[in-house]
Structure 1
Amino acid sequence: MTYKLFRLAAGSYDVLLDGVIIASLISNGDTHNTVWTVELLADPAPEERPKPFTEMEHTFRNLEEVRTWLGGAEIQNASSDSKA
């Protein structure tokens, strides 16, 4: 399974799994207190959720934690299609 993050705007991403959008990722809070939340778009049964999702929603302290949790997800920019 390959995850990618497709940047929509500052602090907002689509989460793609094998090219299909399955979740959204947004940042909330100020610069010193940001919380990143990734949330599945559908509500499958727990045993049908893609790994590593164990819940519908997970929170993280920063974007790098999210990328690591998703197995090193690449970032793709909407404007330039470049990868980070």
Structure 2
Amino acid sequence: MPYTLQRLAAGSYDLLLDGEFVGSVVRDLSGGGDVRGWQAELLSAAPPMPTPFTKEAHRFETLEAARKWLDATITEDEAASLTAP
């Protein structure tokens, strides 16, 4: 299933599946503004969930880890943000 991440703002991406909005990938910040990782989350936890989701939200240490897990593409101009904290 082809996922796409479309950047909304720093630390926030729409998650599209076959061109349809199904969720988001967002940076998780602590109260002090420190990056605590990334979270991929669906709009709905109602079954059936699209692969590879097994629950409504999954956490990752980096955006790249989330992208690989989803096997998602990011447009070239947004790919530079993969190195962001």
Which secondary structure does the structure 1 equivalent of 2:15 belong to?
A: strand
- Could you list the runs of 4 or more consecutive aligned residues of structure 1 that deviate by over 6 angstroms after TM superposition? none
Whole-angstrom distance in 2 between the partners of 1:83 and 1:5: 9
Matched, 1:38 2:40: yes
Structure 1 vs Structure 2: percent identity of aligned residues? 47
What TM-score do you get using the length of structure 1 for normalisation?
Answer: 0.80
Unaligned segments of structure 1, at least 5 residues: none
> Could you tell me which amino acid in structure 2 is paired with residue 42 of structure 1?
S
Whole-angstrom distance in 2 between the partners of 1:64 and 1:53: 17
> Could you tell me which amino acid in structure 1 is paired with residue 25 of structure 2?
L
Whole-angstrom distance in 1 between the partners of 2:20 and 2:45: 15
* Correspondence 1:1-84 to 2 at 5 A: 1-29=1-29, 30=34, 33-45=35-47, 48-71=48-71, 73-76=72-75, 82=77, 84=79
RMSD: 1.6
Contact 1:25 1:36 in 2 (8 A): yes
Which secondary structure does the structure 2 equivalent of 1:65 belong to?
A: helix
1:26-68 CA-partner distances (Å, limit 9, x unpaired): 10221xx4310111002212xx110000000100000000010
What TM-score do you get using the length of structure 2 for normalisation?
Answer: 0.79
Aligned length: 75
Unaligned segments of structure 2, at least 5 residues: 80-85
Q: Which has the higher helix share?
A: 2
